[in-house]
Structure 1
Amino acid sequence: MSIPPPPGPQQPQGSPEQPQGQHAQGQYPPPSPYPHGAPGAPGPYAYHHPYGSHSPYGRPAPVNGVAIGALVLGILCFLPAVGLVLGLIALAQIKKRGERGKGMAIAGSVLSCVGLVLWTVSLSTGFTSDVVDGFKDAASGEGTPYALAKGDCFDSATDTLEGAAYDVDEVPCSAAHDGEVFAVVTLPGGAFPGDDELTRTAEDKCYALSAGYAMDTWAVPDDADVYYFIPTRQSWRFGDREITCLFGATQDDGKLTGSLRSDPTTLDADQVAFLSATNAVDTALYEEPEEYAEDDLAANKAWAKDVHAVLGEQIEALRGHSWPKGAAEPVADLVEEMEDARKDWAKAAAATDADTYYTYYDSGYEYVDGPATVTARKALGLDTTVPSYEEDPGTGDSGSEGGSGGGLNV
């Protein structure tokens, strides 16, 4: 389980803050523990951070000027031969000098090739779609954020998950890296929805999907959070309809090491069964009303009733699973504590005043992240490091799921 202990009857625990839009980071758990989009034809990928920004990890390498020229000529579609030559020159210079701008050079070269073809024939109604296809082919090329897929780990050319993202370098997840993609969300067509709407969508989708990729939320480092790439108005015009959700380190000079993936592709059936049940209870606990019981007793009682119901469902799921010999007894002990907690939540749901409510509220939380949970996790080979819930010095929020996060426009 990944829920902090209750603060007590006078200061009830509020639900961990759930991200509402998305910019680029989120403390897990879950991301708690706990970007993608296509590079904009006329514009770059950009990171956003909803809860505050982080300083750059280091001084970024300069953007190659020839690459910029190639992209401009490619987009404007005049002098396409010159744009193509500039693109090739830029790629050579970038490789030699270690500069940024690979994505721009590739996009400029491809768009210039499209321009050369279009200049050989008369303009037709298919002109715009050809340009779009050319841009998307360039954007999906190696070294661009648009090419990232679920499970990919990468380094940002700027060593940060803030600001504009032109290039990324895919690296093995076993090596130190800036980000790990855990989901790619395809958006519907239509008019550009705006940065605020894209941010809200990214936060809603990415935080929800993070727990499915990193089911063992205890294994997600405290300094990891949810980030994402979102389209810019310019890239949207050229067909960019993707939000790329990823984990990244929250520290300015931080790196992730090793994959955070813990799902049915990396876990055994017993681990999946245990985490599915405990994570479902976590999700219910995270939905606690923002208002204290003194201010809205009815809402809190309704939530307590929901927690009681979810506990019942997951207790049955845990009892119905055939556990291996070494885990059967520890899981049974945990289930017994969950049963006691379920009774307390039922009494909280029936409370007639705030003081009575908090009495059973506190009792219902006692088993969460307790010794029985740790013992059961150990028996199943899962992480046994109880998540910390220290306040994030950058935001003042607790370091629980739904903490500070961030995103970039692409």
Structure 2
Amino acid sequence: MNSLAVTSLVTSLLCLAPLGLVFGCVALWQIPRRGQRGKGLAIAGVSVSGAILLLAAVVLPVIDFRIWTPPVRSDSGDVTKPGWTTIQSIRAGDCFTPRGGPPEPGTPPLGGSVELIPCDMPHRAEAYASFALPEGDFPGLDGITATARPQCARLFMDYALDSMAFGRLQTYYFHPDKQGWAAGRRTVVCWVARPGDAELDVSVRGNASDLNAAQLEFLAAVKPLNTAGALRPVKSPQQDLANATAWAGHMARAQAETIQLLKDADLPNAEAPTDQLVSKLEAGLPFWQQAAKAPDAGVFLSHLRSVDQHNGEQHLRRIRGLLGLPLPTSEPTQALERTTASAPRPE
């Protein structure tokens, strides 16, 4: 009996296909020359090894082994080496890329895993807060949205401090589905990304110690208006006039609060454009109030067009420049757009 023929079959069955293939081929060369037995064993070893190698050649290119590589965190909890983990493992301040990228509006993410990435490396998203939903029966998507959407908007303004410094951003949130709820999961994770395929290369977290008193005062003054703007309804006024008018009323109250805060703010070297911005916002305030009482979508949109003519964007840009804050991009100054994203169970 040729010993390599036996070895070929054994190693192939132990999933050592490359060795099984080599031993089998050598055995087939030796057997006729030495008059030994074992040709059938050698053929079996070559066949099994070849089949395993062929299957590996087909399967391996489509398997993402990174999902088995956990991220590495420093003692402070910051991610220092990329790795894959579940949605439930995300912490506030983590930068990551959802599996399959950020979802399209109204669709869930693909799979329940994300790749955590150090925030100074290109990434698609950043988690900025989490909170627990109230106990009780599963509230459904509408119930979760009613709680998560405004809460995530407010928390982002606290986290970023100056959302306009990063251009156009879009907020999302992971939340438990019905099965996750039954398993005891109640946590909502708020995260932000650029719309489309654009990446972030820095953290959007703000640091108050990097800002002076005037910068902080200005950002606090415009925060009510930015937060209310982030809650613009997803549905058009033609689809849901009641929600649109309610939002307009919210915008009117927020704009009035911002106007008063700007009047009280001490903004050295930016007094003149601040006064001009206040005047513009005061001129636009009645249109918000009228939009809140609009009888139909056409009237509502007409008032919004008047609001846009009094948004004071040029004065806003001048104030930011005088205070040394980054200038917003040429895109609309509304900082956020909202989309919900449900979190499926982890894979």
TM-score range, shorter chain: 0.5 to 0.7
Residue number among 305, 313, 320 corresponding to 2:264 in the alignment: 320
Q: Which residue number corresponds to residue 131 of structure 2?
A: 185
Q: Which residue number corresponds to residue 213 of structure 1?
A: 159
Query: What is the DSSP-based 3-state SS (H/G/I as helix, E as strand, rest coil) of the residue aligned with 2:270?
Result: helix
CA contact (8 A) 2:177 2:342 kept: no
Change (3 A) 1:308 1:209: closer
Describe how 1:255-334 pairs up with structure 2 within 5 A.
Answer: 255-262=199-206, 264=208, 267-283=211-227, 291=237, 310-324=254-268, 326-334=269-277
Q: TM-score normalized by structure 2?
A: 0.57
Higher relative contact order (CA 8 A, sep 6+): 1
Q: Which residue number corresponds to residue 172 of structure 1?
A: 118
Matched, 1:147 2:89: yes
CA contact (8 A) 2:294 2:300 kept: yes
Q: Which residue number corresponds to residue 229 of structure 1?
A: 174
Q: CA deviation at 1:175?
A: 1.0
Moved more, 225-234 or 261-270: 261-270
Change (3 A) 1:142 1:350: closer
CA contact (8 A) 1:202 1:243 kept: yes
Q: Which residue number corresponds to residue 366 of structure 1?
A: 309
| Residue correspondences, number | 261
Change (3 A) 1:158 1:273: same
Q: TM-score normalized by structure 1?
A: 0.50
Query: What is the DSSP-based 3-state SS (H/G/I as helix, E as strand, rest coil) of the residue aligned with 1:322?
Result: coil
* Alpha-carbon distance in 1 for matches of 2:173, 2:247: 31
* Alpha-carbon distance in 2 for matches of 1:158, 1:195: 22
Q: CA deviation at 1:374?
A: 0.9
CA contact (8 A) 1:218 1:387 kept: no
CA contact (8 A) 2:226 2:335 kept: no
* Higher Cα radius of gyration: 2
Residue number among 317, 338, 343 corresponding to 2:281 in the alignment: 338
Q: CA deviation at 1:283?
A: 4.9
* Alpha-carbon distance in 2 for matches of 1:408, 1:142: 16
* Alpha-carbon distance in 2 for matches of 1:142, 1:337: 49
Give RMSD over aligned pairs.
4.5
Give a deviation string over 1:91-125, Cα, whole Å, max 9, x none: xxxxxx8342468xxxxxxxxxxxxxxxxxxxxxx
Describe how 1:72-221 pairs up with structure 2 within 5 A.
Answer: 98-101=65-68, 143-156=85-98, 162-166=109-113, 168-194=114-140, 197-198=143-144, 201-221=147-167
Change (3 A) 1:143 1:403: closer
Give the aligned residue type for 2:189.
Answer: T
Query: What is the DSSP-based 3-state SS (H/G/I as helix, E as strand, rest coil) of the residue aligned with 2:111?
Result: strand
CA contact (8 A) 1:227 1:406 kept: yes
Q: Which residue number corresponds to residue 185 of structure 2?
A: 240
Change (3 A) 1:268 1:143: farther
CA contact (8 A) 1:199 1:407 kept: no
Identity %: 28
Q: Which residue number corresponds to residue 106 of structure 1?
A: none
* Alpha-carbon distance in 2 for matches of 1:348, 1:236: 39
Query: What is the DSSP-based 3-state SS (H/G/I as helix, E as strand, rest coil) of the residue aligned with 1:181?
Result: strand
- Compare the two structures and name the one with the higher helix fraction: 2
Matched, 1:250 2:195: yes
CA contact (8 A) 2:87 2:343 kept: no
Change (3 A) 1:215 1:407: farther
